[in-house]
Chain A
Amino acid sequence: MSGSISELEALSRLIKYKIIRNSWYSGTPHLGSCLSCTDILVWIYWDLLKVNHLDPKDQTRDRFLLSKGHAAPALFQVLAKKGFFSEKDLEHYGKDGSIFGEHPPTPEHLPGVEAATGSLGHGLSIGLGIALSAKLLKMGYQVFVVVGDGECNEGAVWEAAMMAASNQVENLTVVVDYNKWQATGRSNEVFQLASLREKWASFGWLTSEVDGNCIGDLKKAWSEIDSEQKPKVLIANTIKGAGIPFMEDDNNWHYRIPTYDEVLSCADILSITKEEIAITEIMRQGRK
């Protein structure tokens, strides 16, 4: 299941390209938010998570919840690449009647999705309920939740943090996608988030701080804490729009949709194959 770091990096670049192309094709926003956590998703899905696309409801599977549901375009590309549904299905993205929108639908509507997130501050609590269930059902699965830094404005995140610590829920791991932005401004200015790591530590969690856009760094940090019997949080320092210099740390890309020429620039930046670019050209012809 696990690939080398360079293989995972190449996979992450390809998925980033597909997210960008999809944003252009379907007019779906939140590109910056998707790109900041794509490396994290690739690392979790290809290096950690035990899931089986042929049996998506397998009781023993590990669970992943994208609590920052507005990064669903990234999750959909990951799930398609994992085989939960066809990549072809994603061509209907955002069209009338499609299941693929700006947020994950319910698990009943789309295999591979664990919870219908999108309203911020729910996913960690749901993940906590799933992690607690493992204890009651005497199962050994792990639960991973990606939370946004802006999402940490929500009080329910901290309700869950306290309850997880008091129950010593050691099979629960949070990755905070700390890209330093939320919709309207810097996340440290809208709300006093700093020092985020110390906040989680004071809530009783085992903490680690990493470069969240470096898969090697994520792997290394995880190997140092994965056996600890406490709820764990990785404060993943990320860049909104990571991987595309003209998008990086520019909050306009929270809502902006790329042009076709910008998609082609991204293909160049991400070293995308000619075959994949040819598909983009076909999509453009079909879109006219």
Chain B
Amino acid sequence: MRNGFASEITNLAITDETLVLLSGDIGNRLFDGLKSECPTQVINCGIAEQNMMSVAAGMALSGLKPVVYTIAPFATTRCLEQIKIDLGYQHLPVVIIGTGSGLSYAKLGPTHHSLEDFAILRSIPGIQIMAPWDVKSIRTCLDIALNSKGPTYIRIGKKGEPDLTNDQIVPEIGCGLKITSGCRIAVIAVGCIAPVALDAAGMLAEKNLFVDVVLYHTVKPLRKSWAKDNLLSYDKIFTVEEHSKIGGFGDAVRDLLDECNFEGKFAKIGADDEFIWKVGSQNYARKLAGISADKIFQAVHSLQN
């Protein structure tokens, strides 16, 4: 996913000389292509995220298109006030890329986890929040963000995310993509946790319990008309996110469904309200947090009875 982002941003920078990548002392080799193609359009802002975010604001005020890139927690909570005031209040077209999001950096501990970024940023007026699931969907998110008048936070994974979009068209902002359809139950996953939702759907199918899997790349804003046309017919809806259960995608979808007078059952699957201090692989950390395929399986299965 990181490599897909790097190659896409290089292509975009070649055709648009107002695009500038600001990085927080990471991605040294990752952006070699960009540095050789467009050397003046890459600036290493050092390990100083507050300054980097305000510098991006200054560039946007001057007519440039800054894209800020660093590890998700440092791109969000570390410089939250700069995002709120300099980008949010001033409504500036800055794209923030949070890489290695969720539990991607499970071995680095809670300092490098981001399980609260959706919740915290959602409450800032005018900011768009996106979480693509594969390289193809990153391209769409970047395109949407770079053509917006205000700020966008895009949270991406690390590497090795499978291509899930295949031949389908990545939807517009706020809409979902149905990987399967026709069932009475939907499991809606946002961002890089999508393959886990698909695994759970497979496990459920083995028990003759069939669910539709719907992928979302948007946390904010969610489009009401799409939900009305595509979600209201379900009996049960489950949301899955690599994020705290509190205030994130699940809550955003529940608010949306409430506005649409959804009458079915709803449950959200996300990280428990605890820091994950035990070290391990990303999948291990996801299990500890309560966002594994098993957990989704259990949640759907238990709501049957």
Q: Which residues of A does B touch, CB under 8 Å?
A: 59, 106-108, 114-116, 118-119, 121-122, 125-137, 155-156, 159-160, 162-163, 166-167
Contact = CB atoms under 8 A, between A and B. Distances in A.
Interface in B62-118: 62-64, 66, 81-82, 85-86, 89-91
Given A115-B86, A136-B40, A160-B51, A129 B58 contact: yes
A115 B61 contact: yes
A125 B58 contact: yes
A163 B46 contact: yes
B296 interface: no
A122 B82 contact: yes
Interface in B1-42: 18, 20, 40-41
B59 A133 contact: yes
Contact of B55 (A59, A126, A166): A126
B64 A136 contact: yes
B63 A137 contact: yes
Contacts of A119: 81, 85
Given A116-B89, A122-B82, A129 B55 contact: yes
A238 B174 CA distance: 53
A73 to B, nearest CB: 20
A108 B40 CA distance: 29
Contacts of A131: 58
Interface of B: 18, 20, 40-41, 43, 45-46, 48, 50-51, 53-64, 66, 81-82, 85-86, 89-91
Contact of B57 (A126, A156, A166): A126
Interface of B: prevailing SS: helix
A71 B35 CA distance: 41
Contacts of B53: 125
A156 B58 CA distance: 14
Of B43, B46, B53, B54, chain A has the most CB atoms within 10 Å of the CB of: B54
Given A132-B55, A136-B40, A160-B51, 20 more contacts: A106-B89, A106-B91, A107-B90, A108-B90, A119-B81, A122-B85, A125-B55, A125-B57, A125-B58, A126-B54, A126-B57, A126-B58, A126-B61, A128-B54, A129-B58, A134-B62, A136-B20, A156-B51, A156-B82, A160-B55
A125 B61 contact: no
B20 A122 contact: no
A159 B48 CA distance: 6
A122 B89 CA distance: 13
Contacts of B91: 106, 108
Contacts, number: 103
Contacts of A136: 18, 20, 40-41, 59, 64
Of A106, A114, A129, A137, chain B has the most CB atoms within 10 Å of the CB of: A129
Contacts of B48: 156, 159, 162-163
Contact of A130 (B20, B51, B59, B85): B59
Of A59, A128, A155, chain B has the most CB atoms within 10 Å of the CB of: A128
Of B45, B51, B54, B82, chain A has the most CB atoms within 10 Å of the CB of: B51
Contacts of A162: 46, 48
Contacts of B43: 132, 167
A106 B63 CA distance: 16
20 contacts: A107-B61, A107-B90, A115-B57, A115-B90, A116-B89, A116-B90, A118-B85, A121-B50, A122-B54, A125-B54, A125-B58, A125-B82, A126-B61, A127-B58, A129-B56, A134-B62, A159-B50, A160-B55, A162-B48, A166-B46
Contacts of A160: 51, 54-55
A126 B86 contact: yes
Contact of A163 (B18, B40, B45, B82): B45
A107 B45 CA distance: 25
A131 B54 CA distance: 12
B205 to A, nearest CB: 52
